[in-house]
Structure 1
């Protein structure tokens, strides 16, 4: 890229031609050399503005404005010297920044002209350059604007370099912070985490010592020192170090001694006393806006910490703070967590911006008082099953074979309905035999009477009476061979439909029959609640099959205990208040016996209290 020749200045015009040209080239080379060798942004801007003004003939004054903070533009360079008054160029600079375009301003013909050109990068306004040049034609002024447009590219290069440098530094800080976070995440407990972090930071940033302290009730307490397994907590060194950490915690900012930047450093009195001939820097570890710890870096060679290093320390602390807070929370005992919770509640209660918290706390207090002061119905819950009040067993009347069984469990039967019948063919044959014998003995009895053989008559009479008794027994068996229902009811158990033709022994239970209008409830109360249950108490029963209706009952009897499902339960018999319901024996549900009134706190905690008492009695000597 080549530049247009620089016009000779006024003092060069008085020199001989050869000497003037050589002086101009020397001056031009000096400006380009300064531009190429610029180490800082200020030197770069100053040399660049000098070159731009040298490229424009009859340029009197030049000013370069750059953005210092959001919306604030300040002079980055002034030509021909820093003492030049450029206040009269302010109006043109403001207009150029406002309109964001090149401007040519003249007050009146023959006066000086002002040329202004904006500096933009990625559609973002970064500044402007303003030159005071001699009056010239419009074409010449347009060439000045083009020259400025060409030269602005160097300033944009400066911004790109600066942006790239900032991104590289940010990337390096992020990489270091993530590496330290990975080291911390490998440790599950607080002490190993603290030791691993300080050792890693000391080696990573070439520090002679790195210390980690945590906030304990507003004061910093030393937790770990790099490459030191133990330290004396009450030593003078530890006290001075904790004072330096407190200084950073109180200011909620990083503190370095010697300070890297006078404008950015906070109060460092404790750091000065602690560091002495060394250098020290403390950064605060924050979690949810609260300082939870402090990292202190030390060097014995006296080399101050740079702003870039302090920024890296702050990036590390930003990621490490929440991890440290989490480990601190896990490390605290219940009492410490309770104290923190009460402290938070106290601050919320005093905060006028939290009226809802006050209302919620008041409601919780009222509820707590109500739980301990108000009484409620204490009821003992137990599993319940419905049984028939009377359950009749139907048994086999004599030994025989099953002929017919038309009903089985679950059938509703009427009084006199056949439940089962036995095979009566053998009985009919036996009846005929006994009828024949009776007729024979009766004929012998008559012959003996006719012959007046009194002894034979008595024997025949006895044999005839025996035959009649056997005949009556057979008739009775024939009558009982057809087993019928003694009353209206439901078959609770028994199914003989698969046993037709099989032999039956006398007295074998065939069915269980229960009435349809008389039921009782069996409550299975656990032994820990049986002390409160006695006859005469009332309660309510809800069955699984009738969840929409609650049935009232009254306790009738407390029976003996029995083992069921590994628990000791008592059978409590109760009578239902109603008998017109569509109940079935065997229906189950949950019954609650009304015992009396107790406070809600006792009702909800008495089982736990009883269990604790039992455990204490078991384990105490």
Structure 2
């Protein structure tokens, strides 16, 4: 099938075929030549827009909007000439940018169609191209949109080149900053670090001199000058240099002279006075939001510092600030740091603009006085466990096999409730045997009496009594085969549900029971605090399961120490003041025993002082 069967000719689609007379071809060649040889972004955009307008026939005017660094969209190219009034295309461009799609809009009389298409890259709109074209068919307008769609790829290439250039510059700045940080990290002391730093910066960036100053009480103090082992601190040169550093430090921004950008540069009076015929740039080294130093770069060859160099200096300062701050702190004595901190607090206290700081200082002083003068209740804290006041053991009454165990630890039982049952089948057989023997001996006893055989009668009587004793013993075992609860309570320990059918020995502990209305508290008091605990002292307890209720208790007994988790604790027994609580044995919490009144300072520091006394006793001769 030929192409004419599914597409129209370029002339029908409203596009130039690029084939014309010699003058037309020469014009096209000139446009393509200008496009291919464009050296700047402006030339590139003008050539591109001219090519689009030539390829799309009957274009009255056109405009290419591109995004600037400030985020605004400005005309990058206007066709047919830079003086053409294209303000009437602005609404179409605005609508295209907001809706982010190609659009066909009605134009002015005589130019009924405005074609707009966005410049979009990686999901972000970077601009738009707007054409004022003559009226044509819908198919021809769609062909214009397709032409703009494919043509915008060149503009996207421009942005990609620009982004690649920016990325390369950023990478170069990062590489330089990391290299300089590596130089600084090699020196542990402040003075060698400063000298190595300024020498490396001077040689790396082609500067005649690089100086480093550090912040001292809000003023910049010169620390090092490149290629100079000594400088006169009171000289006019040093004073002017420090004034320039102060100017940058006070503004917390980079300052350059000659000025690069009036808005971004800030005040540069001291830099102007210091520079004379030189080029000067100062950048602030910051750490934790505060300026800690200033780097000043100088050139005497007439070359000014450009914006890219200033950005590189700022990248270097970003990494060097924390390193310099760390070395400054290491260089200073503790007393000096303390004095500076007190001086800073005093300056804040005198500052009338900071009333909250004054109030805070006064409150802090009152708090300290209160801590050392006011008394509070001293209480000994200890981990607490609830136990039953009486714990009854349920043991196996005889050797046998476990038949059933319907309860286990945690069950609440009533008096007489079966806890476990031993297998009694052997006992029933034995009981039947002793019944039979008793009947036999009774018959022999009666026969002996009837025959007046006194000796045989006595033997049969004794055997009959022995059988009755064995029978009574078996009946007693059968009665005790069911182990029952001796009182109303809770099963504290014991779980035989997995041991059914296993043998048990006489006296083996099967269950432990505790009453429901009688509890005691066991406090595990640290041996460092046991000296303050006495019988009769009161206290309070909060259990993990009853955090909303405070339980009172009284100390009843102090027992011996026992190891627990690698330390010595004393088991202190206490009696709860209330017995109507829904407690369970095994509940844990924290108890505090009231000891007496002490100052808050003593309460909070007595363990530390006791430890210091013990260490002094251990190590001092």
TM-score (norm 2): 0.58
Preserved contact between residue 248 and residue 282 of structure 1 (Cα < 8 Å) = no
CA distance in 2, matches of 1:493, 1:260: 89
Preserved contact between residue 492 and residue 512 of structure 1 (Cα < 8 Å) = yes
CA distance in 2, matches of 1:489, 1:415: 8
Q: List per-residue Cα deviations over 1:434-467 (Å, max 9, x = no partner).
A: 2333344445445555666555454444333322
Structure 1 542/437 Cα, relative in aligned 2: closer, same or farther at 3 Å? same
Q: Which residue of structure 1 aligns with residue 203 of structure 2?
A: 203
Q: Which residue of structure 2 aligns with residue 245 of structure 1?
A: 238
Q: List per-residue Cα deviations over 1:8-36 (Å, max 9, x = no partner).
A: xxxxxxxxxxxxxxxxxxxxxxxxxxxxx
Q: Which residue of structure 2 aligns with residue 396 of structure 1?
A: 396
- SS where residue 372 of structure 2 aligns? helix
Q: Which residue of structure 2 aligns with residue 496 of structure 1?
A: 496
CA distance in 1, matches of 2:387, 2:235: 78
Preserved contact between residue 292 and residue 325 of structure 1 (Cα < 8 Å) = yes
CA distance in 2, matches of 1:181, 1:242: 32
Q: List per-residue Cα deviations over 1:100-126 (Å, max 9, x = no partner).
A: xxxxxxxxxxxxxxxxxxxxxxxxxxx
Aligned-pair distance for 1:260?
A: 10
Pairwise mapping of residues 352-367 of structure 1 onto structure 2 (< 5 A)? 352-367=352-367
- SS where residue 336 of structure 1 aligns? helix
Q: Which residue of structure 1 aligns with residue 126 of structure 2?
A: none
Preserved contact between residue 395 and residue 506 of structure 1 (Cα < 8 Å) = yes
CA distance in 2, matches of 1:515, 1:328: 71
CA distance in 1, matches of 2:294, 2:418: 94
CA distance in 1, matches of 2:395, 2:290: 85
Structure 1 243/476 Cα, relative in aligned 2: closer, same or farther at 3 Å? farther
Preserved contact between residue 184 and residue 193 of structure 1 (Cα < 8 Å) = no
Aligned-pair distance for 1:544?
A: 1.8
Q: Are residue 384 (structure 1) and residue 377 (structure 2) matched? A: no
Q: List per-residue Cα deviations over 1:466-509 (Å, max 9, x = no partner).
A: 22322221121122122221111112222333443333221122
CA distance in 2, matches of 1:281, 1:519: 85
Pairwise mapping of residues 6-25 of structure 1 onto structure 2 (< 5 A)? none
Q: Are residue 582 (structure 1) and residue 582 (structure 2) matched? A: yes
Q: Which residue of structure 1 aligns with residue 373 of structure 2?
A: 373
Q: Are residue 541 (structure 1) and residue 541 (structure 2) matched? A: yes
CA distance in 1, matches of 2:488, 2:296: 94
Preserved contact between residue 554 and residue 576 of structure 2 (Cα < 8 Å) = yes
Pairwise mapping of residues 460-609 of structure 1 onto structure 2 (< 5 A)? 460-609=460-609
Preserved contact between residue 181 and residue 320 of structure 2 (Cα < 8 Å) = no
Q: List per-residue Cα deviations over 1:380-409 (Å, max 9, x = no partner).
A: 222222111111111111122333333232
CA distance in 2, matches of 1:353, 1:617: 52
Preserved contact between residue 281 and residue 305 of structure 2 (Cα < 8 Å) = no
Pairwise mapping of residues 2-41 of structure 1 onto structure 2 (< 5 A)? none
CA distance in 2, matches of 1:501, 1:179: 79
Q: Which residue of structure 1 aligns with residue 413 of structure 2?
A: 413
Q: Give structure 2 stretches of 5+ with no counterpart.
A: 1-165, 249-256, 260-267
Q: Which residue of structure 2 aligns with residue 351 of structure 1?
A: 351
Structure 1 326/450 Cα, relative in aligned 2: closer, same or farther at 3 Å? same
- SS where residue 497 of structure 1 aligns? coil
CA distance in 1, matches of 2:316, 2:221: 17
Aligned-pair distance for 1:198?
A: 0.8
Aligned-pair distance for 1:528?
A: 2.8
- SS where residue 583 of structure 1 aligns? coil
Count, aligned residues: 428
Preserved contact between residue 282 and residue 294 of structure 1 (Cα < 8 Å) = no
Pairwise mapping of residues 212-251 of structure 1 onto structure 2 (< 5 A)? 212-216=212-216, 223-226=223-226, 231=229, 237-240=230-233, 244-246=237-239, 248-249=241-242
Aligned-pair distance for 1:580?
A: 0.9
CA distance in 2, matches of 1:499, 1:358: 73
Q: List per-residue Cα deviations over 1:115-170 (Å, max 9, x = no partner).
A: xxxxxxxxxxxxxxxxxxxxxxxxxxxxxxxxxxxxxxxxxxxxxxxxxxxxxxxx
- SS where residue 589 of structure 1 aligns? strand
Q: List per-residue Cα deviations over 1:8-66 (Å, max 9, x = no partner).
A: xxxxxxxxxxxxxxxxxxxxxxxxxxxxxxxxxxxxxxxxxxxxxxxxxxxxxxxxxxx
CA distance in 2, matches of 1:420, 1:183: 81
Structure 1 467/204 Cα, relative in aligned 2: closer, same or farther at 3 Å? closer
Aligned-pair distance for 1:578?
A: 1.0
Preserved contact between residue 557 and residue 574 of structure 1 (Cα < 8 Å) = yes
Preserved contact between residue 211 and residue 296 of structure 1 (Cα < 8 Å) = yes
CA distance in 2, matches of 1:365, 1:599: 16
Preserved contact between residue 180 and residue 200 of structure 2 (Cα < 8 Å) = no
TM-score (norm 1): 0.58
RMSD: 4.5
Structure 1 182/413 Cα, relative in aligned 2: closer, same or farther at 3 Å? closer
Aligned-pair distance for 1:238?
A: 3.7
Pairwise mapping of residues 37-52 of structure 1 onto structure 2 (< 5 A)? none
Aligned-pair distance for 1:206?
A: 5.3
- SS where residue 421 of structure 1 aligns? strand
Preserved contact between residue 544 and residue 587 of structure 2 (Cα < 8 Å) = yes
Structure 1 560/313 Cα, relative in aligned 2: closer, same or farther at 3 Å? same
Aligned-pair distance for 1:420?
A: 2.2
Q: Which residue of structure 2 aligns with residue 425 of structure 1?
A: 425
- SS where residue 547 of structure 1 aligns? strand
Aligned-pair distance for 1:214?
A: 3.3
CA distance in 2, matches of 1:313, 1:479: 103
Preserved contact between residue 248 and residue 283 of structure 1 (Cα < 8 Å) = no
Aligned-pair distance for 1:523?
A: 1.8
* Worse-matched range after superposition: 399-408 or 382-391: 399-408
Structure 1 433/215 Cα, relative in aligned 2: closer, same or farther at 3 Å? closer
Structure 1 308/619 Cα, relative in aligned 2: closer, same or farther at 3 Å? farther
CA distance in 2, matches of 1:456, 1:530: 76
Preserved contact between residue 435 and residue 467 of structure 2 (Cα < 8 Å) = yes
CA distance in 1, matches of 2:200, 2:474: 108
Aligned-pair distance for 1:515?
A: 0.8
